[in-house]
Amino acid sequence: MNKPIPTSADGLSRVDGRAKVTGAAKYSAEYNQPNMAYAVLVGSTITKGTIATIDTKLAAKAPGVLAVLTYLNSPKVPGHIPTKAQKPGAKSGPLKVFYDNKILYNGHPIAMVVADTFERAQYAASLVKATYNKQAHDTKPPKDLSRGVGAWGGKDFTRGTVDAWKTAPIKLEQEYIHPSEIHNPMELHAIIARWDAPDKLTVWDKTQGTQATRDDIAKAFKLKKEDVQVNSQFVGGAFGSALQVWPHEVAAILGAKVVKRPVKLVLSRPDMFTSVGYRPYTWQKIGIGATADGKLVGITHEAVGQTSTFEDFAEGPINTSKGLYAVPNVTTRYKLLSLDVNTPTWMRGPGEATGAFALESALDELSYALKMDPIDLRLKNYAKVDPDNNKQYSSKYLDEAYAMGAERIGWENRKAEAGTTIQNGWLVGYGMGGGMFGAYRDVAVARAIMKADGTLTIQTAVSDIGPGTGTAMVLIAANKMGIDPGKIKFEMGDSALPLAPMQGGSATTSAVGSAVHDACTVLKEKFQQLMGNGGTDNPDYVKILKEKNLPSLEVLTKSQPGPDNEKYSMQSWSVHFVKVLVHPTTGVIKVDKVVCVADSGKIISPKTARSQVVGGAIGGIGMALMEEAIIDHRYGRFVNNNFADYHVPVNADIPQIEALFVNKPDPYINPIGAKGMGEIALIGMAAAVANAVYNATGKRVRDLPITPDKLI
């Protein structure tokens, strides 16, 4: 007999946890190759203009230098569409590295030094000198709708009556600012590029999608997909910054071509601010109105996000206002402002996290105007069907989540009047904020191989940025096959393995988990057929393989969404509860307790799910209280591009965080019942903190981050 089936409630520890904490897990920069060279980028020190002269002589003569690439001597990237061939007026698209003499933002790569050691490359990089023809630049972020240009075709959206909130008896209109936030994962972006032949390339690269990166590199260098191998076995956090191929990756591949050696390029921390995207500065205005008893009449949500002059990045800050509450009238206006900055990108809870800060702050403000408990206000406007499209939800237990969180935080201790509770010299406040994010499922393929020794290998190309993909996949396989998780080997992070989507949009467990589930289902059925007695018990895999004289049995299974994924509105939901202490005279804020509740379907791996929620809450504390990438607009240059000045929470800032789960399977999204978790762990958290600060102090801060100076 097999051992008892381990269930998810068994709380399997992170399967790669030991490798990670002992240093055995290797990250992209650690795959040193024989004869490897090192590349360091040189960024522009002006914000807009052209390179007049670039002197690389000193750098080229420096010890150990193998090559200095600039736009003057770099090999062309065959897949770069020439700027002049593009439609007039259109943006030129993703930055083409070493393409021409144009400077599009401060830190724009103007040269790359390749040398035999990292230190020598870095020193030589400091010797590259450029002169510029400067042009006037603009990096000032939006402060109203006026300078914005419509994103996604520029159309405003209205459900019901335009700006109906203005007709409501109780109403308010406020502006909210979300500054640019840098992903700043602990692991710096890194790539090692090795040409195995003139038309064959291997890279070890920090990426959230080995196959997407393979496809993009193949396209850029006009290679066959099968001739590009992308490895990314471990990723030390990314939060969206590794969802696309960036100029530094192309530069390293070019460098390897020029010096005919493998080349490693690791970005510096300051490079991380200008090279791999960020959450865009976004100005928002919300008009919201309700009847005296708290029924929402209308919401108008306007937003302008910054983007670059050469590429549009649009996200959905206004989406939350369309879907979170049952409100008959919604108007949204979303625009982009093109500035002389690098292009933003998706960052955890992209759009929704920014939007939920505004909407959930506005709901809180409305609750005080109505003299109504913020939870009651939300329940009064609880959406039972998706107000955006009238579809039934595949599952929604947000009301249960509200109740669970309220109980654990001690919501009954919250005073309805702000600024009235003081304990031991500190103002005490409670706040809450919630969020939603689409629950997705994409096509994925998994291979399952049962070997004669009873070990099971699961293979997929997916990369894991830290949420615990391997652990969840092992649990799914163990449950399905009825074997011990210790007998399962999960292989991933390799573009040659079976098809997997990028790890983004909180969809990995849903997509890849379903593929693993389906592969194991098929594999088990094969064994049951081999048993020949029509039995449905767990087969004795070792015995069957031995009896049939088979070394192993394997299946390759494709798993994809079905009609239900169209029929229902599928969303994950979350609510965050926060207790803060604020010092009345110095404005120091201490987050005292956090309770997060997720309605994300069935919880596959409780331990890693908890970690993911805790991480999201900490990210939310950072967003609420600390994170802000600051540009000196006179120079267009960052002034806090390091970990001393760009603050993220440290251990001392992190209180007890409870992660609770409704843990009810979604019957329609996929065969495993799991919805997404990563984004909702963050979405709504910043508003919960801001609302708690208001409850403590009576001061409403609408421009993040909430630092002590804004409270005194």
Rounded distance between C-alpha atoms, residue 496 and residue 214, angstroms: 10
Rounded distance between C-alpha atoms, residue 170 and residue 39, angstroms: 60
Q: What's at 437, amino acid-wise?
A: F
**Is 226 considered catalytic here?**
no
DSSP state at residue 243: S
User: What residues between 571 and 590 interact with other proteins by CB under 8 A?
Assistant: 583, 585-588, 590
Rounded distance between C-alpha atoms, residue 201 and residue 28, angstroms: 15
340: nearest Cα among 25, 634, 700, 13: 634
618: nearest Cα among 637, 596, 638, 635: 596
- 75 near other proteins, judged by CB under 8 A: no
Binding-site member from 1, 9, 85, 644 for other proteins (CB under 8 A):
644
- 653 near other proteins, judged by CB under 8 A: yes
In the bound complex, what is the minimum distance in angstroms from residue 588's beta carbon to other proteins? 6
- Residue 5 vs 588, nearer CB to other proteins: 588
- 119 near other proteins, judged by CB under 8 A: yes
- 640 near other proteins, judged by CB under 8 A: yes
Binding-site member from 100, 547, 632, 703 for other proteins (CB under 8 A):
632
In the bound complex, what is the minimum distance in angstroms from residue 615's beta carbon to other proteins? 17
In whole angstroms, how far apart are CA 203 and each of 44, 114, 256, 293? 27, 17, 11, 60
- Residue 408 vs 710, nearer CB to other proteins: 710
Lookup: tokens for 204:
């070890």
Rounded distance between C-alpha atoms, residue 678 and residue 513, angstroms: 15
Binding-site member from 524, 637, 675, 702 for other proteins (CB under 8 A):
637
Four-CA torsion 487, 544, 540, 471, nearest 10 degrees:
30
Rounded distance between C-alpha atoms, residue 517 and residue 476, angstroms: 6
- 635 near other proteins, judged by CB under 8 A: yes
In whole angstroms, how far apart are CA 707 and each of 180, 412, 710? 16, 27, 6
- 45 near other proteins, judged by CB under 8 A: yes
488-491 and 456-459 as β-strands: parallel, antiparallel, unpaired? Answer: parallel
- 650 near other proteins, judged by CB under 8 A: yes
The residue written with tokens 């009825």 in the block is 482
Binding-site member from 26, 489, 526, 647 for other proteins (CB under 8 A):
647
- 652 near other proteins, judged by CB under 8 A: yes
Q: Count the Cβ atoms, other than its own, within 10 Å of residue 658.
A: 18
- 122 near other proteins, judged by CB under 8 A: yes
Helix ranges, 583-642 (H)? 606-625
User: Helix or strand or coil: residue 556?
Assistant: strand
Binding-site member from 18, 645, 656, 703 for other proteins (CB under 8 A):
645
User: What residues between 424 and 453 interact with other proteins by CB under 8 A?
Assistant: 425
Query: Which of these is catalytic: 302, 360, 658, 679?
Result: 679
Rounded distance between C-alpha atoms, residue 213 and residue 207, angstroms: 7
- 625 near other proteins, judged by CB under 8 A: yes
- 634 near other proteins, judged by CB under 8 A: yes
- 144 near other proteins, judged by CB under 8 A: no
DSSP states of 96-150:
-TTSSSEE-STT-EEEEEEESSHHHHHHHHTT-EEEEEE-----PPPSSSTT-EE
Total number of residues binding other proteins (CB under 8 A)? Answer: 34
Q: Which stretch binds other proteins (CB under 8 A): 218-226, 393-401, 454-462, 630-638?
A: 630-638
Q: Which stretch binds other proteins (CB under 8 A): 224-232, 554-562, 622-630, 675-683?
A: 622-630
- Residue 119 vs 376, nearer CB to other proteins: 119
Binding-site member from 5, 379, 530, 630 for other proteins (CB under 8 A):
630
- 651 near other proteins, judged by CB under 8 A: yes
- Residue 119 vs 537, nearer CB to other proteins: 119
Q: Which stretch binds other proteins (CB under 8 A): 170-178, 515-523, 636-644, 680-688?
A: 636-644
| Interacting residues toward other proteins by CB under 8 A | 45, 119, 122-123, 126, 425, 583, 585-588, 590, 625-626, 630, 632, 634-635, 637, 639-640, 642, 644-645, 647, 649-653, 707-709, 712
Residues with catalytic function:
679
